[in-house]
């Protein structure tokens, strides 16, 4: 699958994502290990870019892009992503869209923090 990372988003992400890192496009609705949010109102309409040191076997769907990011997503996320997938940056926010319209107008970017034994 392709994602068009527009110039403004590529510039913004270049300052956030160190070279060589893995980036996961993940739902942020309580449905996966990267989610920090939860609740039925968030299902399928909150996304995040998670920055990690290594690949994750669950996030094995490659999102081809011209921004040079090692970007992948997971099969469950694919149910919410359509053709014409694009990421743009304006007014201080990352916006994820596809041909159906805006999927998330405020995509977050976060470093992956492995859970501790207490969590």
Q: What is the pLDDT of residues 92-113, one digit of tens each?
A: 999 999 999 999 999 999 998 7
Q: What is the pLDDT of residues 8-33, one digit of tens each?
A: 999 999 999 999 999 999 998 766 66
Question: What is the distance between the alpha carbons of residues 74 and 62, in angstroms, rounded to a whole number?
Answer: 9
pLDDT level of residue 116 (50, 70, 90 thresholds)? low
Q: What is the pLDDT of residues 39-88, one digit of tens each?
A: 555 555 689 999 999 999 999 999 999 999 999 999 999 999 999 999 99
In 3D, which of 119, 117, 87, 118 has the Cα closest to residue 105? 87
Question: What is the distance between the alpha carbons of residues 25 and 51, in angstroms, rounded to a whole number?
Answer: 9
Give this prediction's pTM: 0.87
């Amino acid at each position: 699958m392709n994602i068009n990372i527009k110039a403004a988003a590529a510039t913004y992400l270049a300052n956030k994502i160190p070279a060589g890192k893995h980036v996961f496009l993940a739902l942020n609705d309580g449905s996966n290990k990267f989610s920090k949010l939860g609740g039925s109102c968030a299902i399928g309409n909150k996304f995040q870019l998670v920055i990690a040191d290594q690949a994750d076997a669950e996030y094995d769907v490659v999102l081809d892009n011209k921004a040079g990011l090692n970007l992948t997503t997971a099969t469950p996320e694919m149910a919410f992503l359509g053709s014409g997938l694009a990421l743009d940056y304006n007014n201080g926010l990352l916006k994820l869209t596809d041909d159906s319209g805006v999927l998330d107008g405020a995509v977050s970017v976060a470093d992956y923090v492995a859970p501790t034994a207490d969590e």
